[in-house]
Amino acid sequence: MSSPHVESVDTVALRSPLDEPFGYSQAWVAERTALLVRIEASDGTVGWGECWGPIAGSRETVEDFIAPVVENRDPTAVERIHRDLRDQARAAYQSVVPLPAISGVDVALWDLRGKLRDEPVSTLLGGRCHDAVRGYATGHYFKHDASLSEQYDRIAAEAERNADRFDAIKAKIGLSLLGHGPDADVELVRHVREAIGDATLMVDANYAYDAGTARDVGRALEDLDVYWFEEPVPPEDVSGYSHLRSALDLRIAGGECHTPTDFDDLFEAGAVDVAQPDVCNVGGLTAACRIANSAAARNVPVVPHVWGTPVAIAASLQLLATVPGRPWLEFDNSANPLREELAGSGFDVREDGTVAVPDGPGLGIDLEMDTLERFQC
């Protein structure tokens, strides 16, 4: 009996408007969207992946450019397909490789491979070290039409609730979106620290600053016992990252906007204490595993950026299950009906704030088809 081959590669676009927009340093978020990739094998087995970013562009790239490369291939030859996709995309686009589109396909292939072999993806990636990983709560975004004092009070109250659940939270700064300066950002972090007590506190600027301003903010964050300072400067400012890592006595984190080659540059420059590839943006699990291995060789912890549907969360958990030590999972708590409703059983957040790694085949999750259809656009 012949082995299954890839029968079809399709995309499923999802959209859900939010009741209340929220903001971070670079933009306001009024809806949550996702582009899922669905790969079906000739025996009917289906794998799911997710692309980071806007639906437009990645949808066409997957359907018109990538699908013909992947269809009729052996779905278990994931690394070989990944290499072929990168090579052909480089030849076609020259100036850029469409990594979000490749990411969605790569994750779907890993899910499919795991299901065909009846094994979790983490086993296929080299074996799991953990059945659960520590979670920290992301959220704490800015609100429309709220005064500065109201921003402080609302965000601090949210952080207190999340700290009770996880004992670790990440606060957003960059109130320049609302016309305020860096002093207001530091005061926001001060309010959050007072609200959460001794819980672990990370801070994320989403590249709101230049290196000089980030240095001044970082020195204030040191006094507030901040665990890491994430994306303090624009992603391309490798020298700025290096400068801050030398100048500040707190960890510098980054990577959600970086390509595999960018990570090579960051590691070569010794520019980050924490590496944060996004599985749905960096080239999928294949690329993320290679980055994790490079980071481990330099004793740099890997904490993936996660801000998507249950597909993105499950893929990140499968990766983290293979990472030695005590890795963190970014657990998004901002408004997202797609995250809350697409997976019927959700994710098991334990009393100690750890999140269980799904142990079923592939990514280990099942999507609700009725819900998928309801959000499809």
Residue pair 368/361 in contact by the 8 Å Cβ criterion: no
305 included as an active-site residue: yes
Residue pair 112/46 in contact by the 8 Å Cβ criterion: yes
What is the signed CA dihedral for 368, 280, 14, 84, rounded to 10 degrees?
-100
Point out which residues pair with 41 in neighbouring strands.
6
CA distance 224 to 371: 43
The residue type at 213 = T
Tokens of 219: 């020195």
- The C-alpha angle 131, 136, 139, rounded to 5 degrees, equals 135
**Which one of 82, 191, 243, 305 is the catalytic residue?**
305
CA distance 123 to 112: 14
CA distance 156 to 65: 46
* Residue among 213, 260, 266 nearest 241 (CA): 266
* Residue among 232, 218, 223 nearest 272 (CA): 232
Residue pair 11/59 in contact by the 8 Å Cβ criterion: yes
Q: Which H or E run includes 292?
A: helix 284-297
The residues annotated as belonging to the active site are 305
